[in-house]
């Protein structure tokens, strides 16, 4: 929400991640934003006990490719959760709608069919300033939120193994 900081969360409700493996797939498009998201996610995983050697980061050209990148990382690495991070800023063509819809549906399908959580960390903003505000600016960092979601969902998935 535009009225709350995305990076606020309750640390008391997080599971132990010391033996969990995480994959982060990052879009290179809008890298001034997506690399901030990546850093937020990585640093949050480390802060809560993930080992650096248990975090793998991969890069894809754009946000549309996040779905394929996430699936390939899961197939190859077998992580406990994968985080997809991207940024699409509305332009003057319908391209924004197609990319956002494709990535959203792709992550929903991966979650429905997969055995691990696929975390949707795609910024879909109207302006560059909105993206800056959500990648370490006044509204926090969506990468932090995605990492916390990955931790919680990996813990949740672990209950049912």
Question: What does each C-alpha distance from 20 to 42, 80, 159 come to in angstroms?
Answer: 13, 6, 13
Digit-coded pLDDT (tens) for 71-95: 999 999 999 999 999 999 997 777 8
**Is 95 one of the annotated active-site residues of the chain?**
yes
**Residue scoring higher pLDDT (85 or 3):** 85
Q: pTM of the predicted model, to two decimals? A: 0.92
Among residues 47, 78, 95, 138, which one is catalytic? 95
CATH no. of 19-159:
3.40.50.960
The pLDDT, as a whole number, for residue 117 is 96
Locate the domains of the chain by residue range. Answer: 19-159
């Amino acid at each position: 929400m535009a009225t709350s900081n995305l990076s606020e969360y309750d640390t008391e409700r997080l599971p132990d991640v010391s033996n969990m493996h995480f994959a982060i797939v990052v879009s290179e498009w809008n890298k001034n934003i997506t690399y901030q998201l990546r850093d937020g996610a990585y640093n949050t995983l480390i802060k809560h006990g993930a080992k650096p050697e248990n975090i793998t980061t991969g890069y894809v050209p754009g946000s549309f490719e996040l779905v394929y990148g996430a699936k390939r990382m899961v197939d190859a690495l077998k992580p406990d959760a994968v985080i997809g991070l991207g940024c699409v800023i509305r332009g003057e063509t319908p391209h924004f709608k197609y990319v956002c819809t494709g990535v959203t549906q792709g992550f929903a399908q991966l979650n429905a069919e997969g055995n691990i959580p696929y975390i949707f960390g795609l910024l879909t903003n109207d302006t560059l300033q909105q993206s800056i505000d959500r990648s370490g600016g006044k509204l926090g960092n969506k990468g932090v939120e995605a990492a916390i979601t990955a931790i919680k969902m990996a813990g949740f998935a672990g209950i049912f193994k």
